Amino acid sequence: MTWLIRLIGLVTLLLLGASCGKAAGPAEVSSDDGAPGAGTPAGAPPAQRPAGGALRIAYSDWPGWVAWEIALQKGWFKEAGVDVDFTWFEYVPSMEAYTAGKVDAVCVTNGDALVTGNGGAPSVGILVNDYSNGNDMVVARPGITRVAELKGKKVGVEVGFVGHLLLLNALRSAGLGEEDVQIVNVPTDQTPQTLRSGAVDAIVAWQPNSGQALRELPGSTAIFTSADVPGIIYDLLAVSPKSLAERRADWVKVVKVWDRVARFIKDEGNLDEAVRLMSARVGLSPEQYRPLLSGTFFLDLAGGMKRLEKGDGLASLHGSSRIVDEFNVKNNVYKAPLKVDDYIDSSLTAEALAAGQAP
């Protein structure tokens, strides 16, 4: 993924009420009707075109969202009888499009769903695509191999964003606090060169920036990753309350399609095809893209339902979102805590599960 635009993103998100995110490439439309290779597989009965127009969904460059490309290319939305229009955005513009009402749903992190909601565009997370499982990293210069060794050192991180939250968890794991390091505010897309220059002793970034930092500074080490705190970053499909109320049955169909996508990826026999389809979407070779999948824990509906159960820790989307909400208030992203549970609806996943698996 050519992900984050960071300096512009920081300003934009702060104007919205900002937090964390991932980003992508140039905007273009990739719909189930127009995607190359999309269509009803041979021998399958033709699906009726659903009434009500296409569900407009903004997606961007993160494996859990790029994975929708599998369903688009293989015609699974048509088979499910739901009309969709996926539009490809940079990450921050995808949220702006949602805020402006140009799309019905947006692929966002749980933290950014809160941010856009506080900015006047509430959403409802109906589906958990995945959680970050190592793609987000604290990368230290040569000679530093443990988080404890960051004490008194400079750490480059985009303050107020998800990397900042990851850093706090890393420090806590070593018995340190934020006051034990020198925070240097660095846009995420500038972290590799900042670490390479020697201006800081460590940086916090997500792929591809974290991987770039490791490649460009021989001997550097990932001393803490999101795999150490699974559930700190969830990636969702967040739908406008209006669209959800008007088209709930169609959104259930979308949720069912996701289950098919996630199970396809989890089947080792499909991995080569999955990587080929996903890498083509972001302009990388399959060899370049494959490692990114291991840093993303894809959730089928059964796995997602467990994460949708209410709880206080990171194993629950509710608990994780409350932690992010507290972080956002503490870091002046917005002023007052939000009603986190209003941003999550597990009933569509439950209904799709009860209906049984798609082919």
CA atoms within a 13 Å half-sphere pointing along the CA-CB vector of 351: 14
Question: 37 — alpha (psi -120 to 50), left (phi > 0) or beta?
Answer: left
Residues 6+ apart with CB under 8 A from 282: 1, 2, 24, 25, 61, 66, 289
Whole-prediction pTM? 0.81
The pLDDT of residue 34:
35
pLDDT of residue 43 exceeding 70, the answer is: no
The pLDDT of residue 359:
65
pLDDT digit string, tens, across residues 63-80: 999 999 999 999 999 999
The pLDDT of residue 278:
97
pLDDT band at 18; cut points 50, 70, 90: very low
Backbone angles phi, psi at 88, to 5 degrees: -90, 125
pLDDT band at 52; cut points 50, 70, 90: confident
pLDDT band at 334; cut points 50, 70, 90: very high
pLDDT of residue 4 exceeding 60, the answer is: no
Residues 6+ apart with CB under 8 A from 266: 298, 300
CA 297 to CA 130: how far, in whole Å?
5
pLDDT of residue 292 exceeding 80, the answer is: yes
pLDDT of residue 19 exceeding 60, the answer is: no
What is the mean predicted confidence (pLDDT) over 266-275?
97
Query: What percent of the chain is predicted at pLDDT more than 70?
Result: 85
pLDDT digit string, tens, across residues 99-153: 999 999 999 999 989 999 999 999 999 999 999 999 999 999 999 999 999 999 9
CA 196 to CA 199: how far, in whole Å?
8
30 beta partners: 86
CA distances from 151 to 35, 182, 183 (A): 51, 9, 11
Mean residue pLDDT of the chain comes to 87
pLDDT digit string, tens, across residues 189-242: 899 999 999 999 999 998 878 989 999 999 999 999 999 999 999 999 999 999
pLDDT band at 91; cut points 50, 70, 90: confident
CA 296 to CA 141: how far, in whole Å?
25
Query: What percent of the chain is predicted at pLDDT more than 90?
Result: 77
What is the mean predicted confidence (pLDDT) over 345-357?
93
CA 235 to CA 125: how far, in whole Å?
9
